[in-house]
Structure 1
């Protein structure tokens, strides 16, 4: 498997989550952030967490309690959207590929990310899964050099979304079902109601 760095996107304000920072909400006894870092650590050589400066102390505590070592890429442009967060994180990545996963997607299987990474290495490019609803840019593998250049250009042009980045990258697209990503795995835990539903369903499948 190609050398890769895991990137957790966790710098959002959790505005739809009315019980604090969603990254620290617990599922099966662990914060969502811990689940996502563990998933990435299973398929990468290192993990970088992108977050705001005010989030870092609580994140460090949560990850230390779980004995998970990470580095942090603290937002230099907070509240500027996911494109700014990803750009900041990728600037700290030294490997050819970055496996990106949002902090609110704790059910994504590591095997699915490994499949994306393998396809990215074979194609030499960014690989993104697609569902019936469209692309999933926060569960994808980015070729770092091209993504950094494209992200900088997109940001300079006033873009703030990851979909705008994908348009510039022309990624390889993979059907989500082909790599074991069903609707449940790709559901973002962005509200307390979604989290409660997962808890009722006995949380994460392992």
Structure 2
């Protein structure tokens, strides 16, 4: 089985979008289509199956014909809860890994999953995350763009029960591989109305 055949994709759409006035950022219009449509178009060819992590009524995503998986509880403890929901779904489908992408980030690399897979394999790590070089040195982390072994789902479940909320607080102790991606702000995400205008211009 090739690396890609072991990997399911999960789009994380669980944020509350407070800075956009609430609602689903992924359903905002970008170039005549919802941002989410652009995200699906980029991620689907990179994985063997695809699901959407979102809370609330799944019917609002019906047109995409994807499984919609909610967090395990309704306390909204952040992206790690979405990752866990994705892990549980993928493991139930027979997948060993999930690759995650945020629903409000329409320009991420088309080689995201291959890059993360190579990073995890080369470092023999059960986790990998995306980074971008920072002007002046160092890197910016993009922890919601990651590769996660489903074998760690019970470990993550326990960490969430103990109150862990920050992604890197859980990933880094596991020796998470760090994979750098270049390009013009590839992980630009739409958080504010101003960001949406920038994305439309881009």
Which structure 2 segments of 5+ residues have no match?
A: none
**Equivalence map 1:1-206=2 (5 Å):** 1-2=2-3, 3-18=6-21, 20-54=23-57, 56-61=58-63, 63=64, 69-78=65-74, 79-94=76-91, 95-122=95-122, 123-131=124-132, 132=134, 133-146=139-152, 148-177=153-182, 182=183, 184-201=185-202
Which structure 1 segments of 5+ residues have no match?
A: 64-68, 202-206
1:124 to partner: Cα distance: 4.9
1:19 to partner: Cα distance: 6.7
With over 3 angstroms needed to count, the CA separation of the structure-2 counterparts of 1:134 and 1:109, relative to structure 1, is: closer
Alpha carbons 2:42, 2:110 under 8 Å: kept: yes
Residues of 1 paired with 2:196 and 2:111: CA distance?
Answer: 23
1:73 to partner: Cα distance: 1.0
Alpha carbons 1:36, 1:106 under 8 Å: kept: yes
With over 3 angstroms needed to count, the CA separation of the structure-2 counterparts of 1:174 and 1:191, relative to structure 1, is: same
Alpha carbons 1:154, 1:164 under 8 Å: kept: no
What is the SS of the residue equivalent to 2:36? helix
Residues of 2 paired with 1:91 and 1:200: CA distance?
Answer: 38
1:119 to partner: Cα distance: 3.0
Residues of 2 paired with 1:23 and 1:11: CA distance?
Answer: 10
1:103 to partner: Cα distance: 0.5
State the Cα RMSD in Å. Answer: 1.9
Residues of 1 paired with 2:78 and 2:169: CA distance?
Answer: 12
Give me the TM-score of the superposition, normalised by structure 1: 0.83
Alpha carbons 1:87, 1:152 under 8 Å: kept: yes
Residues of 1 paired with 2:89 and 2:23: CA distance?
Answer: 28
Residues of 1 paired with 2:53 and 2:22: CA distance?
Answer: 21
Q: How many corresponding residue pairs? A: 189
1:183 to partner: Cα distance: 5.3
* Stretch moving more, 100-109 or 19-28: 19-28
Alpha carbons 1:4, 1:96 under 8 Å: kept: yes
